[in-house]
Amino acid sequence: MKILVLGDIVGRPGRNIIKDNLKSIQDEFDIDFTIANGENASSGLGITEKNASDMIDWGVDVITTGNHVWDKKETEGYIDNYDWILRPANYPDPCPGKGYIIKEKNGAKIAVINTSGLVYLKSLDCPFKKIDEILLEIPSDVKIRILDFHAEATAEKISMGYYCSQRVSLVFGTHTHVQTADCRILDDYTGYITDVGMTGPLDGVIGVDRDIILKGFLSKRPGKYSIAYGPVQINGLVADIDESGKCKELFNFIKIYE
């Protein structure tokens, strides 16, 4: 089973580059199942129902999110209507939406889990204890288990990778928008990368107009963010996972479009 993971999709530039190029990437890598983090898909903050539905129409199978999941007020009203969009599972109960989903594709059952880290982010329930609970709930015949750990601190992400090693097929980090160089397979079983990166403007600062960010650093005063334009990048990860749930091959890539 070939799994494609797309780093955080940022604004209209990120959406458009996926719309125009996802099919060719899926064909290039012979992809069976695609996951994208969409929490920044709508103007960089949150995701609207339309943008989420468009991403599914373009070929994404599951959309994960993170700390910006509720930034669009409409999300609480629509998220329960769909089984293909997730919010971090460690939000305190009761909470709209789902923290994990089991999907079937090409004869294989795939569990996709979404949790949020705690370091430098909102204080949610413990993601380590939550992953234990979820793994007990997932039926034993679901061998392919994938976790999007949306977190800031590299140490917390690496710790989660080792915590899930040999229990989860793939652990990938999101949130920082910068792809890391530590793509590897832990304990000859679990695929891991600290951060997949970002799908969006190349020449901004993690997707935002660089002049706005530089002005903020120099003036120490807040300013309204706007999405950068110009060249666009797709940051991605491809994992080949066998029927037992073992990650056999893993590699990351960056594609740049002028």
Q: What is the mean pLDDT of residues 53-60?
A: 98
Q: Is residue 205 part of a domain?
A: no
Q: Is residue 183 part of a domain?
A: yes
Domain count, the chain: 1
Please indicate if the annotation marks 40 as binding a ligand. yes
Please indicate if the annotation marks 177 as binding a ligand. yes
CATH of the domain at 8: 3.60.21.10
pLDDT tens sequence across 134-157: 999 999 999 999 999 999 999 999
Please indicate if the annotation marks 8 as binding a ligand. yes
Domain with 193 in it: 2-198+229-257
pLDDT tens sequence across 181-234: 999 999 999 999 999 999 999 999 999 999 999 999 999 998 888 999 999 999
Q: Helix (H, G, I), strand (E, B), or coil: what is residue 144? A: strand
Q: Is residue 215 part of a domain?
A: no
Instruction: Pick the catalytic residue from 68, 72, 98, 143.
Output: 68
H/E run at residue 186: strand 184-186
Q: Is residue 213 part of a domain?
A: no
H/E run at residue 28: helix 11-28
Q: Is residue 65 part of a domain?
A: yes
pLDDT tens sequence across 80-96: 999 999 999 999 999 99
Q: Is residue 63 part of a domain?
A: yes
- Whole-prediction pTM value? 0.97
Question: Any catalytic annotation for residue 122?
Answer: no
Question: 252: burial class by Cβ within 10 Å (0-12, 13-18, 19+)?
Answer: buried
Q: Is residue 176 part of a domain?
A: yes
Q: Is residue 217 part of a domain?
A: no
Residue the block writes with tokens 């807040």: 222
Please indicate if the annotation marks 258 as binding a ligand. no
Going by C-beta distance under 8 Å and a sequence separation of 6 or more, which residues neighbour residue 161?
149, 171, 186, 190, 192, 194
